[in-house]
Amino acid sequence: MPVRYHLSLCAVLLLVSLPAWAVKKVDLDYHVTLLPQSDQAEVRVTLEQGSVVRSLNLNLGEQGYFSDFAADGQWTTEPAPSGTALRGIWKPAIGKATLTYRVRIDRPAVDTHSDKPRYDSRMTAEWALFRGEDLVPAARLDQQDGVRLQARLTFDLPPGWRDVETSWPRIGKNRFRIDNASRLFERPTGWMLAGNLINRRAHLGDTDVTVSAPKGQGMRRMESLTLLTFVWPRLQAIFPRTPGKLLVVGAADSMARNASAGHDSIYLNSNRPLISESGASPVLRELVQVFARVQTKDRSDWIRAGVAEYYAVELLRRSGGMTEDRYQDWQSILTRVGRKVTTLRAVHVDQAMTARAALLMGALDQEIRRKTDDQKSLDDVMQGLVRMGPVTTEDFAQLSAGVMGEPSKVLATPLL
Q: What is the pLDDT of residues 238-252, one digit of tens each?
A: 998 889 999 999 999
Question: What are the sequence ranges of the domains in the chain?
Answer: 1-195, 199-276, 294-404
Q: For residue 184, is pLDDT > 80? A: no
Which pLDDT score is estimated for 84? Answer: 73
Average pLDDT for 102-118 = 82
Which pLDDT score is estimated for 62? Answer: 85
Which pLDDT score is estimated for 80? Answer: 79
Q: For residue 9, is pLDDT > 90? A: no
Q: How many CB atoms lie within 10 A of CB 356?
A: 25
Cα 303–Cα 307–Cα 310 angle in degrees, nearest 5: 135
Q: What is the pLDDT of residues 267-294, one digit of tens each?
A: 999 999 999 988 889 999 999 999 999 9
Look at 14 and 308; give whichever has higher pLDDT.
308
3-state secondary structure the chain: CCCCECCCHHHHHHHHHCCHHHCEEEEEEEEEEEEHHHCEEEEEEEECCHHHEEEEEEEEECCCCEEEEEECEEEEEEECCCCCCEEEEEEECCCCEEEEEEEECCEECCCCCCCCCCEEEEECCCEEEEEHHHHCCCEEEEECCCEEEEEEEEEECCCCCCEEECCCCEEECCEEEECCCCCCCCCCCCEEEEECEEEEEEEECCEEEEEEEECCCCCCHHHHHHHHHHHHHHHHHHCCCCCCEEEEEEECCCECCCEEEECCEEEEECCCCCCCCCCCCHHHHHHHHHHHCCCECCCEHHHHHHHHHHHHHHHHHHCCCCCHHHHHHHHHHHHHHCCCCCCCCECCCCHHHHHHHHHHHHHHHHHHHHHCCCCCCHHHHHHHHCCCCCECHHHHHHHHHHHHCCCCCCCCCCCC
Q: Residue 12: what are its φ and ψ, rounded to 5°?
A: -65, -45
Question: Could you tell me how many residues make up the chain?
Answer: 416
Which pLDDT score is estimated for 322? Answer: 93
pLDDT interval class at 33 (50, 70, 90): very high
Which pLDDT score is estimated for 26? Answer: 93
- Select 199-276's CATH number: 3.30.2010, 3.40.50, 3.30.70, 3.90.1570: 3.30.2010
Which pLDDT score is estimated for 114? Answer: 63
Residue 141 one-letter amino acid: L
Q: What is the pLDDT of residues 47-74, one digit of tens each?
A: 999 999 999 999 999 889 999 999 999 9
Q: For residue 14, is pLDDT > 50? A: no
Do 1-195 and 199-276 have matching folds? no
Among 140-149, 193-202, 404-413, name the one with the lowest average pLDDT.
140-149
Q: For residue 367, is pLDDT > 70? A: yes
Q: Is the pTM of this model over 0.95?
A: no
Q: What is the pLDDT of residues 281-337, one digit of tens each?
A: 999 999 999 999 999 999 999 999 999 999 999 999 999 999 999 999 999 999 999
Torsion of CA 156, 162, 166, 172, to 10 degrees: 70
At the top level of CATH, which class does the domain 1-195 belong to?
A: mainly beta
Which pLDDT score is estimated for 13? Answer: 43
Q: For residue 139, is pLDDT > 50? A: yes
pLDDT, the chain, mean: 91
CA 39 to chain CA centroid, nearest Å:
24
Which pLDDT score is estimated for 19? Answer: 56
Is beta strand 139-143 parallel, antiparallel or unpaired with respect to 66-71? Answer: unpaired
Look at 60 and 4; give whichever has higher pLDDT.
60
